[in-house]
Amino acid sequence: MSYTNIENRILDKILTSNFTKRQLKILLFIIRFSYGLDRKFAVLKKKDFYFAGVSPYHVEAELKKLVLRGVVKWNPQLGIFRINRNLKEWVDKRQKVDLFKG
């Protein structure tokens, strides 16, 4: 039997943050295919998120929201996704996000 080895502080932050159901599914999918495979990142295509129950129509918009909130790091050209381990960079949904920050 295999396990997904993720730090409790990351799980705690996810539990106490205000994510939508789609965003939670995306986060869990990234965690499963990164930490679950003993890697720091996941290599996925946007259509892969369909297996997490998120339609391809919604994936990009939700990913952009997670990137803007500092939760996910995403390289669209390479299809690399990772959870941002620097929890101080995570922005709560209720906080203002500065889109023009350097």
Q: Which of 87, 88, 4 is nearest to 39 (CA)?
A: 4
Taking 90 as the threshold, does the pLDDT of residue 15 lie above it? yes
Question: What is residue 56's predicted lDDT score, i.e. its pLDDT?
Answer: 86
pTM over 0.85: yes
Give the DSSP letter of residue 93: T
| Res. 102 pLDDT band, cuts 50 70 90 | very low
Question: What is residue 24's predicted lDDT score, i.e. its pLDDT?
Answer: 97
Question: What is residue 32's predicted lDDT score, i.e. its pLDDT?
Answer: 97
Q: Give the Cα separation of 67 and 74 in Å (integer).
A: 7
Q: What is the mean pLDDT of the chain?
A: 91
* 8 A C-beta contact, residue 83 and residue 27: yes
